Chain A
Amino acid sequence: MAHQAAHSHEAHEAHHHEELGFWRKYIFSTDHKIIGIQYGLTALVFMLLGFFLMLAMRWQIAYPGKAVPIVGAFFQTVFGTDLAQGGIISPDLYNSFGAMHGTIMVFLAVVPLAFGAFGNYVTPLQIGAPDMAFPRLNMASYWIFLLSGLIMFASFFTPAGAAKSGWTSYSPLASVNDLNHQWNGQTFWLIGMVFNITASLLGAVNFITTIIQLRAKGMTWMRLPFFTWAQFVTAFLLLLAFPPLEAASVLQLMDNFFHTSFFLPSGLVVSGNPLDVSGGGSPLLWQHLFWFLGHPEVYVLILPAIGIVTEIVANNTRKPIWGYRSMVYAVLGIGFLSFIVWAHHMYLTGMGTKISTFFQTTTMMISIPSVIILTCLFISLWGGSIRFNVPMHFALAFMVMFGIGGLTGLPLGFNASDIQLHDTYYIIAHFHYVVAPGTIFGLFAGIYHWYPKMTGRQMNVFWGKTHFWLSFIFMNAIFAPMFLQGLAGMHRRMSDGGATYAAANPVNQGFPDALSEGIIKLNEHISWAAVCLAIAQIPFILNLVISMRKGEKITSDNPWDATTLEWATPTPPPHGNFAVVPTVVRGPYEYSVPGAKTDFTPQNAPLSPERESKKSHA
């Protein structure tokens, strides 16, 4: 196999006489693999920056009113004395960091990494396509995404500072937060979002068309690797859920910039002055349009990671995935249901019992397909001789962490318990368990898994495992205590970590120990765990960079002995991907087939004569 691939690699290079220049090949490339890597590296940088914002916030939570060490002077220079006097994070700056941390992590880091990077790189390879259906659109998608990220980051350096109304940007707060500047952070945020959504839409159109139209011969729907299924459903979520937020962003932009009243009610008074607008708008409309995207977005974050984990579990248990079909139907079910659960984010808006019953019902229903998927993955482990390599470590941790995140979400789906837990640290812990040790572990698993295909070299195993264990420990050290804080009633948006609130307790005799000392003290533990988590990423970053040149070279195009088509290409895959157009003859996870020569049978390996005859008899 390797021999054949290497041979055709040469043939390929001979075929393409006119080599593209550096700029066309690596910068303005239309090759899905280069675009995927561009997406990946950009998203990782954004993720690191979003993580730094969080570290600064954690300092303020643990030690409110104390200057941030090391970067304090830098903060004062960049954000000015209004926002960071003497390196101390002001509540306004804290709000900015909070809003931007959420926005960056969701829209500029995790989605681009999960969908833009892995989707771009792996999906066309897995379906046996030479590229995406619209390569130039693909390139446009990346550059528009980058532009959106730069616009968001640019807002930090404007006089008014970055957006500070939460990543959800609820109106009317988002529209009246900074009336002194027309070009305030929120305006930048909205313009950034419009570009970001446009980029996602272009990507979604491209992905769906590619998966429908460019599947190789024999790649029927039920032979699609689960990762591709996950990307397919994700693309549909982006395609249909994002436009309402684009519309909402345009409307809020009109509110902020042209002083309309889409989301501003009549009689709004700000700082004691009636606001000079016509009124007549509806703040709840924003919430509906936002969460119509917001909830499917959760599945946009999680489905690609589930897809990655499924590939890795099948590959490292050397067994077919248990219940592949039920997983496919479950992922379709999740995609469908995710569109009709959005108002469970809005139980506190007083929307009435009927509508709230409807959303509680759909919310409970969507946990069924999620549990089906997770159960299938767990059962897939049963009786397997598991290879505990680095990607498998992350994949296994994903399953447990995502399980915790999912199960702790159930009390939030019920109106009665949600009223208690809404906007507390319990919520923070819940969705971070889903996204941070959940999705991001899935993405790490994907990086370690496909790195050899992208570069031709392995990442260092020792440092990979170090990265895993440290990340695993500190992720839990960060988020597990937050459940306790949330149950104790700590509000998620208090910029001093609840210090003022706790200090007020002796005065409120009726509520002793509303936030006890122990709960407040957890802030420090969490913050130091976050610092340790940051340190734990150093081995990963070095491993990622150094292995490109120094990593152990792989000797085969298929180093993991995998079955799916991306391993049937030369390494790294050249422009056009496949040396020979692949023909698919079987399902995606034919591991340990009785009677087969090896314990894996690639999707495109020709059928053996006796099997062929068996099939014709059947």
Chain B
Amino acid sequence: MAEHASDAHAEDGHDPHEIEHIKAHIKVYMLIFAMLILGTILTVAISYIDFGEHWKNIAIGLAIASVKGTLVAGWFMHLISEKKLIYSVMVVTIFFFVALSFITIWSMTGSSLIGGGLNQHSTTGGAAHAAAVAPAHH
């Protein structure tokens, strides 16, 4: 189906061939639609399951979101069968996005993502007023 999409884009759709292609597309769209709904239900359901450590929930949740995102970008946006130029632009963009977030997080948290290393950098202008607040239920 991937190859068909690019054909459908480039040409004017008068020939019956293309209508067939589009019909094939529509089947794929419906399949993706069902998968996206399933993914949404799954992601909500899994968030209520306790996997012991919370980072596991985060990893699974982000994994599902990434799959859903890939489905939308790949098939609804036809990225799976796009022209080379678009790929180049996207690769460059994603690279700089990763550079921005990775280097920023790296420089502000030391080596590890988890563990609140950020605090050591906060330039507090005076006595810490927030520390005293405790949870209310005990």
Contacts and interface: CB of A to CB of B under 8 A. Distances in A.
**Contact present between A and B (CB < 8 A):** yes
Interface of A: 172, 212, 236, 240-241, 244, 265-270, 274, 278-280, 282-285, 288-289, 292, 339-340, 343, 349-352, 354-355, 358
B100 A292 contact: yes
24 contacts: A172-B123, A212-B85, A240-B92, A240-B96, A265-B125, A266-B129, A269-B127, A278-B130, A282-B118, A282-B122, A283-B122, A284-B121, A285-B108, A289-B104, A292-B100, A292-B104, A339-B96, A339-B99, A339-B100, A350-B121, A351-B108, A354-B111, A355-B107, A358-B103
Interface residues of B, number: 25
B123 A236 contact: no
Interface string B116-138: 00100111111111110000000
Nearest to B111: A354
A265 B123 contact: yes
B99 A240 contact: no
A354 B111 CA distance: 9
Contacts of B125: 172, 265, 267-270
Interface string B76-103: 0000000001000000110010011001
B85 A266 contact: no
B110 interface: yes
Contacts of B93: 240
A240 B118 CA distance: 26
A172 B125 CA distance: 10
Contacts of B128: 266-267
7 closest A-B pairs (Cβ-Cβ)? A269-B126, A265-B122, A267-B128, A355-B107, A266-B130, A288-B104, A351-B107
A559 to B, nearest CB: 37
B106 interface: yes
A280 B122 CA distance: 9
Contacts of B121: 282, 284, 349-350
Nearest to A355: B107
B70 to A, nearest CB: 22
B8 to A, nearest CB: 20
Nearest to B99: A340
A280 B130 contact: yes
Contacts of B123: 172, 265, 283
A531 to B, nearest CB: 40
Q: Which of B107, B129, B130 has the most CB of A within 10 A?
A: B107
Contacts of A266: 122, 124, 128-131
B126 A268 contact: yes
A343 B124 contact: no
B106 A355 contact: yes
A354 B110 CA distance: 9
A288 B100 CA distance: 9
Interface of B: 85, 92-93, 96, 99-100, 103-104, 106-108, 110-111, 118, 121-131
Contact of B126 (A267, A343, A350, A358): A267
Given A240-B92, A280-B130, A268 B107 contact: no
A420 to B, nearest CB: 22
Contacts of B127: 267, 269
Given A267-B129, A339-B99, A284 B92 contact: no
A265 B130 CA distance: 10
Given A236-B92, A240-B92, A270-B125, A279 B130 contact: yes
Given A265-B124, A268-B126, A269-B126, 7 more contacts: A268-B125, A274-B126, A282-B118, A285-B108, A288-B107, A339-B96, A351-B107
B103 A343 contact: yes
Contacts of B124: 265-268
Contacts of B99: 339-340
Contacts of A352: 107, 110
A357 to B, nearest CB: 11
A283 B121 CA distance: 9
Nearest to B108: A284
Nearest to A270: B125
Contacts of B103: 340, 343, 355, 358
Nearest to B127: A267
A235 to B, nearest CB: 12
A220 to B, nearest CB: 15
Contacts of A241: 96
Which of A270, A343, A350, A352 counts the most B-chain CB atoms under 10 A from its CB? A352
Contacts of B100: 244, 292, 339
B133 to A, nearest CB: 11
Nearest to A268: B125
Given A266-B122, A269-B126, A340-B103, A282 B85 contact: no
A343 B107 contact: yes
A288 B122 CA distance: 14
Contacts of A267: 124-131
A399 B106 CA distance: 37
Contacts of A172: 123, 125
A256 to B, nearest CB: 17
A265 B93 CA distance: 31
A469 B40 CA distance: 69
Nearest to B118: A282
B83 to A, nearest CB: 11
A285 B105 CA distance: 9
A398 to B, nearest CB: 29
A350 B118 CA distance: 12
A355 B121 CA distance: 14
A585 B131 CA distance: 72
A279 to B, nearest CB: 5
A101 B99 CA distance: 31
A364 B96 CA distance: 19
Nearest to B110: A352
A383 B110 CA distance: 54
